Amino acid sequence: MAFLFYLYLSLSYSQILSTSSLKFESIEKALEELEELDPKKTESFEQKLFPLINRINNEVQIKEDSCKENNKNQNCFRDILKLKKQVIEGIYLSKKKYTLYLHQKQLSDLEKAKDEYIKKLEAQF
């Protein structure tokens, strides 16, 4: 379950978050930071991704606990559900972007290795 929760985050953050009856400014900011992470800066991406995900999850949990403690109406829980879906989607997209970057890098390295081997082979004959 936690893995699924870590998978997602994006779409139109502001659309869902701004229409919410709860205030999600800190979560919205963290989601935007997640979206802006650059996978080309591999070390930076990896170092920032998981703390950011943990921060988002903690904020969501605080909002959910607030709904439970205050016995708020169904709208509160609907807002939390929408928020969780956004978080899941955004995390998924961030990880997908990173995975695609790594895949492209590996393909590029493989192409270079192939070209080098072909040059060495041609030099032998």
What are the boundaries of each domain within the chain?
Answer: 2-124
Confidence of residue 23 (pLDDT cuts 50, 70, 90): low
| pLDDT value for 72 | 64
Tokens of 53: 């995900």
| pLDDT value for 30 | 87
**For 27-52, what is each residue's pLDDT tens digit?**
888 888 888 888 887 677 878 888 88
Beta carbons within 8 Å of 51's beta carbon, 6+ residues apart? none
Q: Is pLDDT of 7 > 60?
A: no
